[in-house]
Amino acid sequence: MRWQIEPLGGGHDRSSFECSKPTLDTFLTRYASQYAKRNLARTYVAVRPGETRVVGYYSLSAAAIRVLDLPEPLAAKLPEHPVPAALLARLAVDRTVHGQGLGRLLIGDALVRCFELSEHIGLHVVTVDAIDEEAVRFYERMGFTRFRDQSDKLFIPVSAIESGLPS
């Protein structure tokens, strides 16, 4: 196993994390623990087995979206009130491991967690606010679809996650 993904803890070394997006670096090094203490987000980190240095991470939060933001075919099937969602709030990979498949692994782990959560509470989609157009293209390759009239916000239905899980 190249990496393991686990909840962020006090023993993780975040000090040298650098993904080339300063806001994502700063979140991990300064705010992720505070967000967890305040129940605003949970952060999961990737480390090499037996090591503590963080080489990737993602954060999850609860969210709700307007049904009118979904594409028409999906929106037509839903009641006209906020739709329960999970927000993949942040995802980043240290530049020392760019191009090695860790981003894909982190997305997969996040989506499995969200699917498992959907078995306990109402959860219709997983959303993400992409930091830039490069991130939009990455999420689209992972199966996410852009919201109606919002080029940097994407979603994937929980039903699509379920159909993509190994049986």
- The band of 142, judged by pLDDT with boundaries at 50, 70 and 90, is very high
Name every residue whose Cβ is closer than 8 Å to that of residue 31 and which is 6 or more positions away in sequence.
none
**CATH architecture of the domain with range 4-164:** 3-Layer(aba) Sandwich (3.40)
pLDDT at 114: 96
Q: Where are the domains of the chain?
A: 4-164
CB atoms within 10 A of CB 77: 8
Out of 44, 57, 58, 139, pick the active-site residue.
Answer: 139
The least confident of 74-78, 115-119, 145-149 is 74-78
Has residue 163 got a pLDDT over 50?
Answer: yes
- Per-chain mean pLDDT for the chain: 92
DSSP percent split of the chain into helix, strand, coil, nearest 5: 35, 30, 35
C-alpha 44: how far from chain center = 10
Kindly report each contact of residues 108-116 with a partner whose C-beta sits within 8 Å and lies 24 or more positions away, as own/partner: 109/5, 109/44, 109/58, 110/44, 110/58, 110/60, 111/156, 111/161, 111/164, 112/161, 112/165, 113/44, 113/60, 114/60, 114/86, 114/88, 114/158, 114/161, 115/158, 115/161, 115/162, 115/165
In the predicted model, is pLDDT for residue 109 greater than 90?
Answer: yes
For the question of whether the overall pTM of this predicted structure is more than 0.95, the answer is no
44 is catalytic: no
pLDDT tens-digit map of 64-86 = 988 878 877 777 778 888 889 99
